[in-house]
Amino acid sequence: MFGAVLACDPASADLSSDAGPRPPDADAGTPHGRRREVLESVARDFSPRIERASDREITIDLHGLDRLIGDAPTIAAELRRTAADRGLPVRVAIAGTRTTARLLVHGHPGLTIAERGDERRALAHLPIDLLAVVADEPDLVTFKRWGIRTLGDLADLPDDEIAARLGQAGVTWQRLARGEDPRPLVPAAPEERFEQALDLEWPIDGLEPLSFVLGRLMDPLSAHLEQRDRAAAVLHVRLHLVTRAVHERSLELPAPIRDARTLRTLALLDLESNPPSAAIDRVVVAVDPTPGRVVQFSLLARPLPSPEQLSTLLARLTALMGEGRCGAPADVDSWRPGAFAMQPFAPREDGERGTRPSHRDAETRNLQDLSASVAQWPAVAVRRFRNPVPIRVQLDAGKPSRVVVDRRGLAGGPVSACAGPWRTSGTWWDDGTWNRDEWDVVLHGGETYRLFHDRDSGHWFVDGVLD
């Protein structure tokens, strides 16, 4: 006994007009939608492994159910009685394959049972038109021209002759007519909402009372995630205000998290930077679930900070610095000096380190050869100032001869050696245009600076210190 197919009876729904499953919310609240909900609830009362074949037809895996309820006729009677108690007349077919049960439930009213191994004989008398129930656009016109009127007629034809005339599709249709399943049953997971809500007796105003409310909501939410081996990828907080407005915030987490204390801290830090405009009378928290993390530590590598610690730190820095001012730098496709972009900080796992595309192997070897060839050269690093330091420069024959610096910690004086200029410019079509001449200078005191002359404004700046 493989399973059963539970289908609405034609007295309550037309099976032949079913065009396949529709979105779950397509007709919510309508009689059609209520029938579908009742059908699924009856099926789940008997087995967690169900597959929705259509909105009016559900396949149930009955493995092991005979030890709890009884033989196949008893199970079929219980299925039909349970559905009738909920006001839904149904047909029930039990067979050794899903395909056989689906064809039988459309071909016979009431209860139908086919023993395992007897599928072909049980389907032999059914009309060939029923093949459209389990197949996509079968060539029924050709079959009828051949004089085929039943599924048994199609099942009895030679396999090689069917393949020669109709190809692989014909072979598939013949196997379905024999009651063979093209694939195993794929259980449909119940739709779960990871959400908690609380209606407050009195409006609250401020983060301190809101912290207790969020803590009360995060604990059951975290327990629900742990039971399903899920974690939060995005945290949603909706605050219903006394002004009937809704203050909603969504936090994209750098790593899957289900720790209740961490989720509450992240929500509070975000609301600290983006407070609601009025008192709160309803709080809703929800998450977008993702599979839980599987962490494999290494004895050879230093462990990374936990996602809970990292997320809390980033949230505190964001609350302190502001939105978009905390993250990791990323290179941009520009020659502009000091150009970079900010991206969310997400460290790679240990397994991701050291992986490089194969097309970069040659480039890596070239860099290694270059490093070996210049190993005898002195290493030079430029320590750039995030904001260039304004200075005054005296020129002699077009070259810097003296540098005057007003910034404490930076020395000035006569220039003993200089190199340059190196002229760079770009993005003249944008507000971020630059046009400057760069110089490397060595002062008499030994200080080495990189200077640049802004050709548009005529001012001089220290861009960085050369070490």
| CATH number for position 201 | 3.30.1490.100
- Does residue 337 sit within a domain? no
Choose the final residue of a domain: 247, 266, 291: 291
**Mean per-residue pLDDT for 9-21?**
48
Contacts of residue 399, defined as CB under 8 A and 6 or more positions apart, other chains included, come to 415, 418, 439
| Residues 138, 208 within the same domain | no
The pLDDT-based confidence of 21 (bands split at 50, 70, 90) is: very low
Token digits of residue 48? 């967690």
Residues 95, 126: contact at Cβ < 8 Å? no
Q: Is the peptide bond before 421 cis (omega within 30 degrees of 0)?
A: yes
Of the listed ranges 157-161, 274-278, 362-366, 416-420, the least confidently predicted one is 362-366
- Within a domain: residue 190? no
CA–CA separation, 410 vs 403, rounded Å? 11
Query: What pLDDT, on the 0 to 100 scale, is given for residue 18?
Result: 46
Q: Is the pLDDT of residue 351 over 50?
A: no
Is residue 153 predicted with pLDDT exceeding 90?
yes
Q: Could you tell me if 173 and 208 lie in one domain?
A: no
User: What pLDDT, in 10s, does the model give residues 373-397?
Assistant: 545 555 677 888 888 899 999 998 8
Q: Model confidence at 262, in pLDDT bands (50, 70, 90)?
A: confident
What's the pLDDT band for 293 if we cut at 50, 70, 90?
low
Buried (b) or exposed (e) across 221-230, using 16+ Cβ within 10 A?
Answer: bbebbeeeeb
Q: Are 235 and 251 in contact (CB under 8 A)?
A: yes
Whether 233 and 119 share a structural domain: no
For the cut 90, the answer to whether the pLDDT of residue 361 exceeds it is no
Residue 378: predicted pLDDT: 57
pLDDT of residue 444 exceeding 50: yes
Looking at residues 95-102, what average pLDDT do you find? 91
Q: For 334-362, what is the mean pLDDT?
A: 61
How many C-alpha atoms does 400 have within 13 Å on its Cβ side?
33
Range of the domain at 394: 382-466
Q: Domain count for the chain, please give it.
A: 3
Alpha carbon distances (Å) from 181 to 2, 90, 178: 11, 23, 9
Q: Which of 291, 323, 349 lies at the terminal end of a domain, its last residue?
A: 291
Place 187 in a pLDDT band, splitting at 50, 70 and 90: confident
From CA 162, how far away is CA 352, in angstroms rounded?
51
Q: Is a pLDDT exceeding 50 seen at residue 176?
A: yes
pLDDT higher than threshold 50 for residue 70: yes
- For residue 59, what are its two tokens? 């396949």
pLDDT at 208: 87
